[in-house]
Structure 1
Amino acid sequence: MKLHITYDHPIPINAFEWTPSTDRQSPHIHSSLEIGLCLSGRGCFYFGSKSYTVCPGDIFIVNNEEGHIAQSDPDDPSRYLFINFDPALLLAEEPGLLLPFSYRSSHFRNHIAGGSPLAKELTPWMLAIAQELRDKSPGYLAMAKSALIQLCGRLLRHYNEMLSNDERKTMVQAVRQTQSLAALVERRFREPLSLAVLADELGVSASRISRAFLETTGYRFSDYVSLLRIQAAKRELAGTDKAIADIAFECGFQSLPTFYRAFKDIAGISPIVYRQSMGLAP
Structure 2
Amino acid sequence: MKLTITYEHEIPINAFYWTPKAYRQPLHAHTSLEMGLCLSGTGTFYFGNKQYHVREGDFFLVNNEELHIAQSDPLHPSHYLFLNFDSDLLMREDPSLLLPFSYHSEHFSNLIAADTALAAAIAPWMITIERELRERKPGYIALAKSALIQLCGLLLRHYHSGLSASRQRMMVQSVNQTKALASLVEQRYRESISLRDIAQELGISVSRASRVFHETTGRRFADYVAMLRVQEAKRLLAGTDEQVAHIGFECGFQSLATFYRVFKESTGISPVHYRQTLGLDTDAVPAKNESFPPAP
Asked whether the two chains share a fold, i.e. TM above 0.5, the reply is: yes
Letter in 2 for 1:138: P
Post-superposition Cα deviations, 1:118-173, rounded to whole Å, max 9, x if no partner, equal 01111000000000000000000000000000000000000001111222222222
Deviation at 1:178, TM superposition (A): 0.8
1:25 is aligned to 25
What are structure 2's unaligned runs of at least 5 residues? Answer: 283-296
Letter in 2 for 1:165: A
Letter in 1 for 2:250: E
Q: Name segments (4+ residues, structure 1) moved above 3 Å.
A: none
Structure 2 Cα separation of the partners of residues 156 and 191 of structure 1: 34
1:91 is aligned to 91
**Across the two proteins, how many residue pairs are aligned to each other?**
282
Post-superposition Cα deviations, 1:93-130, rounded to whole Å, max 9, x if no partner, equal 10000000011111111101113100111100000000
Structure 2 Cα separation of the partners of residues 270 and 115 of structure 1: 46
Structure 2 Cα separation of the partners of residues 14 and 268 of structure 1: 15
Structure 2 Cα separation of the partners of residues 102 and 78 of structure 1: 27
1:208 is aligned to 208
1:101 is aligned to 101
Deviation at 1:194, TM superposition (A): 1.6
Letter in 1 for 2:207: S
Letter in 1 for 2:36: G
Post-superposition Cα deviations, 1:37-62, rounded to whole Å, max 9, x if no partner, equal 00111100011111110001100000
Letter in 2 for 1:186: E
Which segment drifts farther, 192-201 or 72-81?
192-201
Structure 1 Cα separation of the partners of residues 169 and 96 of structure 2: 12
1:280 is aligned to 280
1:234 is aligned to 234
Residue 56 of structure 1 aligns to a residue whose secondary structure is coil
Task: Establish whether residue 141 from structure 1 lines up as the match of residue 175 from structure 2.
Answer: no
1:158 is aligned to 158
Deviation at 1:81, TM superposition (A): 0.3
Deviation at 1:31, TM superposition (A): 1.6
TM-score w.r.t. the length of structure 1 is 0.99
Post-superposition Cα deviations, 1:205-249, rounded to whole Å, max 9, x if no partner, equal 011111111111111111110100000000010111110001000
Residue 64 of structure 1 aligns to a residue whose secondary structure is coil
Structure 1 Cα separation of the partners of residues 247 and 66 of structure 2: 36
Structure 2 Cα separation of the partners of residues 112 and 250 of structure 1: 45
TM-score w.r.t. the length of structure 2 is 0.94
Task: Establish whether residue 171 from structure 1 lines up as the match of residue 171 from structure 2.
Answer: yes
2:259 is aligned to 259
Which segment drifts farther, 164-173 or 209-218?
164-173
Letter in 2 for 1:63: N
- Identity over aligned pairs, percent: 63
